A and B are shown apart, each in its own frame.
Chain A
Amino acid sequence: MDNVNKTMRKWWNQRYLQMMVLPGILWMLIFNYIPMGGIVIAFKKFKITKPISEAPWVGFRYFVEFFEDTNFADIMTNTIGISLLKLVIGFPLPIIFALLLNEIRNLKFKKLAQTVSYLPHFLSWVVLGGIMVSWLAKDGVINDFLVAIHVLKEPVSFLGEPKYFWWIALISDSWKELGWSAIIYLAAITSVDQQMYEAATVDGATKLQKIWYITLPSISGTIAIMLIMQVSGLLNSNFDQILILKNQINVSRSQVIDTYVYQVGMTMGKYSYATAVGLFKSVIALILLLISNKTCKKLLGRSLY
């Protein structure tokens, strides 16, 4: 009883603070937690015209339907394939960029390169998508260039050929986020002890040796954390990007879980089915996150959250 009284008194003393925090909590309950509760429609036969409580239960029917869907294999392959490409090829690029940028001696030039490299991050995917659609077309800039330097004999409709889609997704994403993702590595590089480099210079180490034996080990903690975060997001596709680059012809290589949920849910009105697909993704993503976090704890002694 005493404890309760004490807490109540403490609460009353900080009532202004509590009044400031409560609207935020209320907002989260409405806009985050009510939709989480809405997930039940994945197990029900829900119609938009009737309330959720009146919909009959159907168990795991929609999950089974998704696993048996003819597109299931394609969707999973695309989701994981694009993410893996971004992980294996896209992930090291900002690190390399940060290392190279750090070697630029002219500070003004360095600052300029850095500032300009952030630019694509601030462009919307719509503007970027618009540019790409026109550049990748048969009469677009890319074809003009590749034909001019004799890499291609005939112009190719890049977005009209499914086999190019993963690479287009990888390259456009890497290009957009290269400078932005490098911020964190650059900061880690700046905090490396300069005396180590001086000592290495005295010992006659070359520049590459210094990068390999001093800089990289010093920022390995940051790299590991970023890597684990990316692994845990393996099923998250860049929805804004893929929705704008996807079309009827490349759909066999561009349909990912997120766009599929949007398509079956919003354009076909299969609410329960789409929710089941989305839930399947969320659960696997959560498991991946927990595994990555545990690995992180074991390897580095620190966790993400």
Chain B
Amino acid sequence: MKKRSVTRIKRSPGTLLFDTCNTIFMIFIIFICIYPIWYVIVNSFNDAKDAMMGGIYWWPRIFSLENYKAVFEDNKVLQAFKVTIAKTILGTSINVFFTAMVAYPLSKKYLVGRKFYMALGTITMFFSGGLIPTFILYKKLRLLNNFLVYIIPAAFNFFNLLIFCNFFREIPSSLEESARIDGANDWKIFYKIIIPLSKPVLATITLFAGVGQWNDYFNGVMFITDNVRLEPIQTYLYRLVAEVQSSQMASAISASNITASDTTSTSIKLAAMVITTLPICCVYPFLQKYFVKGMLIGAVKE
């Protein structure tokens, strides 16, 4: 206890060296985490033809808003953004509330059949039917080329359920009991008492599920086969990136130095990347304390 009152001991040369190197290392980490985004941003604000010559690292060379104008005038891109926004809002809210609803009874030790239900769910975390049987099922359920393929198969998540369960178990049961004496049934208790008390865990799961929906490109590639209007922006970007790659590789094979990617797709790509990335960058720092907690609850299973 007494040691606390002693003023800080002067740092030895070794410690000083360590601290300096450590600080430089952290600045390096901060740099490499931010720079790629910065690079995309400055290039997206640069004239597209000029940007293709490269060499824009820190600041736009020829400032231009044309790329963003191109995005907002391109109906295909706008449509893709609409799909992304719709599936993120709808898919996330359904996932969060449905998973929470199923999790609440499972957080009760006295639930009849609880062990069986939990076993059923645990198996799904370690074994799955795989891609093709899932595809065949969706085909039978008429989910292919259907907007609902983003929503229904994403409505539930057992890993998130475990996080919810762990949180619900910490809520003092006296609150529920007093409500029960007042004549409330379990369903009422769930949405009148439990949900309002669960804001931290709801925020965490909303972030996880929301980012998952927002960033997902594979469902659009896999399950939307003949209706481009249902592709989200990430799938649209995926196709652009794949195109750029294959034209790069094709030019490598034919040994010519000219990459044949066209200016419009490049400019749209950069601006669309910025638009898809910025919302998440702006939101996550404020949810940090919640998701750090969520990560920890999730890591410690029952």
Residue of B nearest to A161 (CB): B252
- A20 with B105: in contact, given A124-B217, A127-B277 (CB under 8 Å)? yes
Contact with A along B1-23 (1 / 0, CB 8 A): 00100000000001100110011
Interface of B, secondary structure class, is helix
- A23 with B98: in contact, given A112-B30, A130-B269, A275-B132 (CB under 8 Å)? yes
* CB proximity of A266 to chain B, nearest CB, Å: 7
Q: Is B72 an interface residue (CB 8 A)?
A: no
- A126 with B245: in contact, given A23-B102, A36-B127, A304-B301 (CB under 8 Å)? no
Question: Which B residues are in CB contact (< 8 Å) with A24?
Answer: 98-99, 101-102, 117, 156, 161
Q: Is A289 an interface residue (CB 8 A)?
A: yes
Q: Complex: how many Å from CA A119 to CA B295?
A: 16
Whether the Cβ atoms of B33 and A28 lie closer than 8 Å is no
Contact with A along B110-143 (1 / 0, CB 8 A): 1111000100111110111111111111010000
Q: Complex: how many Å from CA A159 to CA B251?
A: 13
Question: Which A residues are in CB contact (< 8 Å) with B153?
Answer: 31
Whether the Cβ atoms of A160 and B98 lie closer than 8 Å is no
Q: Complex: how many Å from CA A144 to CA B237?
A: 25
Whether the Cβ atoms of B234 and A35 lie closer than 8 Å is no
- A160 with B132: in contact, given A14-B112, A27-B155, A183-B295 (CB under 8 Å)? no
Question: Which B residues are in CB contact (< 8 Å) with A183?
Answer: 292, 295-296
Q: Complex: how many Å from CA A166 to CA B93?
A: 38
Question: Which B residues are in CB contact (< 8 Å) with A249?
Answer: 249, 252-253
- A289 with B126: in contact, given A35-B137, A113-B26, A126-B238 (CB under 8 Å)? yes
Contact with B along A164-192 (1 / 0, CB 8 A): 00000000000100110001100100000
Whether the Cβ atoms of B218 and A239 lie closer than 8 Å is yes
Whether the Cβ atoms of A32 and B111 lie closer than 8 Å is no
* Interface footprint category on A: 35 or more
Interface of A, secondary structure class, is helix
Q: Is A101 an interface residue (CB 8 A)?
A: yes
Question: Which B residues are in CB contact (< 8 Å) with A11?
Answer: 112
Q: Which parts of B193-244 form the interface with A (CB within 8 Å)? A: 211, 214-218, 222, 234, 237-238, 240-242, 244
Residue of B nearest to A275 (CB): B132
* CB proximity of A50 to chain B, nearest CB, Å: 12
* CB proximity of B163 to chain A, nearest CB, Å: 14
Residues of chain B at the chain A interface (Cβ within 8 Å): 3, 14-15, 18-19, 22-23, 25-26, 29-30, 32-34, 36-37, 39-40, 54-55, 57, 98-99, 101-102, 104-106, 108, 110-113, 117, 120-124, 126-137, 139, 152-153, 155-156, 158, 161, 185-187, 190, 211, 214-218, 222, 234, 237-238, 240-242, 244-246, 248-249, 252-253, 257, 259, 269, 273, 276-277, 280-281, 284-285, 288, 292, 295-296, 299, 301
